[in-house]
Structure 1
Amino acid sequence: MSGGLVAKAGPQRYPGASTAYWYQSKLGGDSMESNVIVWHTTEGTSLPSYSGGTEAPNFTAKPDFAAKVLRWYQHFDFDTSSRALVHAGAVATNTLNVSQVELVATCDPATHAKWTKAGYAHLYTPELPDWVIRDLAAFAKWAHDQHGVPLTSGVTFKAYPGSYGTGNGVRMSNAEWLSFKGHCGHQHVPSGNLHGDPGAFPMVAILTAAKGGTTPQEEDPMAGLTKKDIFDAVWKTDAIAAPSDAADVKTNPNWQPQSILRDLQARVRRMDATVAAQSAAITALAGQVGKGADTAVIVSAVQKAITDAVIKVDVDIHGQDT
């Protein structure tokens, strides 16, 4: 990036953004050709006042949970310096070809837990839903298409509170900041900035979606599969030779899902067989005792009842196509 007053090129208003809170008219700002987007979180659930605009970014994106869209507010032109960064060092910040976006959200896990317990609808940056990533990606694509902001980042978005402070391990040096282009967070900006927002921001997913790819949250390995497809994948064995023995089941990967489930089913039925056999034996025993039969007759009757029950269940297990 390189600073300086230049003529602004390209459309300066993001399509659909409200200018109800427009601060440029009273506060002005430096003109530049922005090649960096700095992302922030407001750490609140409503549109901030930004101290009358004196701490405002270029844009604020506020979630509409009912409609599942982000509502955009614009406070300065895309290529006019805004005021959400600290400048207390050797290099410029707000005026150094930077356009800034505040997302109405929190990056703080403690705040997230408190708001969740209180029942407040809110965004938490490590867990942004697909529709938020979609709308943030649309903005990143517009900034790229209309202003040439690279769809790259190259920095690590560290989770809050570890992202706070000058020694957070991800904040740029002055030299790195001067040469940076693309997307970063408040946690990366030097020159007196301490803030750790936007925490563990899903920058990779946003930029991937902006390039026309799918985000990790949208990938579904079960997409398009019917219940029959899933059933056949587990049970159908028309094209696979039956395993010859238990060892084959363990060594043949094609058989493992089917054989494991079939084995479980067989075990359950054998348990049923044991219960049935015991019940039959008890019934037979009771009947013979009531007749005053001798021991040999009782043993023979019990053995026959057990054998009959086990044979019946074994036929059920091996003789039916389940």
Structure 2
Amino acid sequence: MKTGPQRYPGASTAYWCQGRYPGSPMEVNVVVLHTTEGRSLPSYDGGALAPNLTAVPDFSLRRLDWFQHFDIDVSSRALRNLAGGVETNTLNVCQVELVGTCDPATHAKWEQANYAHIYWPKAPDWALTQLAEFLRWMHAEHGVPLTGPSAWPAYPSSYGNGAGQRLSASSWSAFKGVCGHMHVPENDHGDPGAIDFERLIALAEGAPIPSEEDDMPTAAEIAAEVVKQLPRATWLTDGLIKNVNPGTSEANPTLSPSQALANTEAVARRIDRRTADQTAQLGALSAAVAALAAGGGLDAAEIQAAAEAGATAALDRLGDALTEGV
């Protein structure tokens, strides 16, 4: 029996699958988390393998975009279900696919290629927070308990039942709460791996949400960006460094190590000033948005998102500043 709201607020139905695959009505008391092991919204074989919802990261706005494929209280199709065994897809389960990976090898490959992605065992706070908001909604509107298995082993140990985490048929039939694909019987997938389940549930229960300032680049992050540029500096046999800055290399084809470090320090100081300016501008713009919205006719949430996107784009130019200065 279907009760409660059937659409997650804000979720797009642009990729709706229930018309082609009607599913079975049920009263949800379980959420199963998957990872897609890809970087974009999957096709799900035209809906034949689709979950109830997919969460797609938007890195420019630091948010999860939600796509709903089935009603909350309708069975979806992302779990294996063997004939004659326990029910999986139809056992009061709402399934969520998280775009990204739980595989450390895939994460390393994508990171080396500079592909934007979420490695869910180390998901950024904004992604984990928005997943927690969904779980909080499922708890409030559908009574899904904010509890789950104690074991969330890392992939690939989680594949099959390599870490002993998979539920028995009887335990699965009695289970209510939040679990992973790795826990469902009759299945062998190991996603979502070692997601920070304790932190996720704490956020869903109302733990303090990280502020926007927490996402501003720290000194350590700036240093990491500098290190990413260091391979571009070619050390010559006489102890000098080839100047790879096209704006200054003709006049100064080489740099001493001390000059290179001095240039790097100057770039870091410029980045620090730019970051401070962007923070101040964002704060002022937020206040202006609130004042304009109070006057009516404006959507504060949309304007705020645009403001944050502009600030994020400015911060993304940090790497360009480093390239210019080294």
**TM-score between both structures, scaled by the size of structure 2:** 0.63
* Aligned Cα root-mean-square deviation (Å): 1.7
AA aligned to 1:97 is N
Matched, 1:103 2:98: yes
Q: Deviations over 1:105-142 (max 9, x none)?
A: 10000000000000100000111001001100100000
Larger Rg: 1
Q: Distance in 1 between matches of 2:209 and 2:194?
A: 16
Q: Deviations over 1:132-173 (max 9, x none)?
A: 011001000000000000011133111000000134310000
Q: Deviations over 1:78-117 (max 9, x none)?
A: 0000000000151000000000000001000000000000
AA aligned to 2:110 is W
Q: Structure 1 9/35 Cα, relative in aligned 2: closer, same or farther at 3 Å? A: same
AA aligned to 2:28 is S
Matched, 1:165 2:170: no
Matched, 1:67 2:61: yes
Q: Deviations over 1:200-225 (max 9, x none)?
A: 0111111101111137999x9xxxxx
The partner residue of 1:52 within 37, 46, 49 is 46
The SS at the match of 2:14 is coil
AA aligned to 1:79 is D
Q: Distance in 2 between matches of 1:33 and 1:90?
A: 21
Matched, 1:203 2:197: yes
Matched, 1:31 2:9: no
> Match for residue 148 of structure 2?
153
Q: Structure 1 39/100 Cα, relative in aligned 2: closer, same or farther at 3 Å? A: same
Conserved in 1, the CA contact under 8 Å of 2:182 and 2:192?
A: yes
Q: Structure 1 15/216 Cα, relative in aligned 2: closer, same or farther at 3 Å? A: closer
Conserved in 1, the CA contact under 8 Å of 2:2 and 2:26?
A: yes
Conserved in 1, the CA contact under 8 Å of 2:158 and 2:191?
A: yes
Q: Deviations over 1:15-66 (max 9, x none)?
A: 0000000000111001000000000000000000000000000000000000
Q: Structure 1 215/208 Cα, relative in aligned 2: closer, same or farther at 3 Å? A: farther
Conserved in 2, the CA contact under 8 Å of 1:155 and 1:184?
A: no
Q: Distance in 2 between matches of 1:112 and 1:103?
A: 14
AA aligned to 1:210 is A
Superposed structure 1 runs of 4+ greater than 6 Å apart:
215-218
AA aligned to 1:46 is S
Conserved in 2, the CA contact under 8 Å of 1:130 and 1:217?
A: no
Structure 2 counterparts to residues 206-217 of structure 1, below 5 A? 206-214=200-208
Q: Structure 1 202/217 Cα, relative in aligned 2: closer, same or farther at 3 Å? A: farther
Matched, 1:188 2:183: yes
Q: Distance in 2 between matches of 1:90 and 1:26?
A: 25
The SS at the match of 1:207 is helix
Matched, 1:121 2:94: no
Matched, 1:80 2:74: yes
Matched, 1:132 2:133: no
Q: Please, which runs of 5 or more residues in structure 1 have no aligned partner?
A: 1-6, 221-322
Conserved in 1, the CA contact under 8 Å of 2:125 and 2:210?
A: no
Q: Please, which runs of 5 or more residues in structure 2 have no aligned partner?
A: 215-326
Q: Distance in 1 between matches of 2:196 and 2:54?
A: 18
Q: Distance in 2 between matches of 1:130 and 1:216?
A: 7
Q: Structure 1 217/114 Cα, relative in aligned 2: closer, same or farther at 3 Å? A: farther
The SS at the match of 1:25 is coil
> Match for residue 174 of structure 2?
179
Q: Structure 1 77/104 Cα, relative in aligned 2: closer, same or farther at 3 Å? A: same
Q: Distance in 2 between matches of 1:31 and 1:110?
A: 38
**Between Structure 1 and Structure 2, how many residues are aligned?**
212
State the identity as a percent.
60
Q: Deviations over 1:222-242 (max 9, x none)?
A: xxxxxxxxxxxxxxxxxxxxx
The SS at the match of 2:19 is helix
Structure 2 counterparts to residues 287-306 of structure 1, below 5 A? none
Q: Distance in 1 between matches of 2:151 and 2:7?
A: 29
The SS at the match of 1:80 is coil
The SS at the match of 1:38 is strand
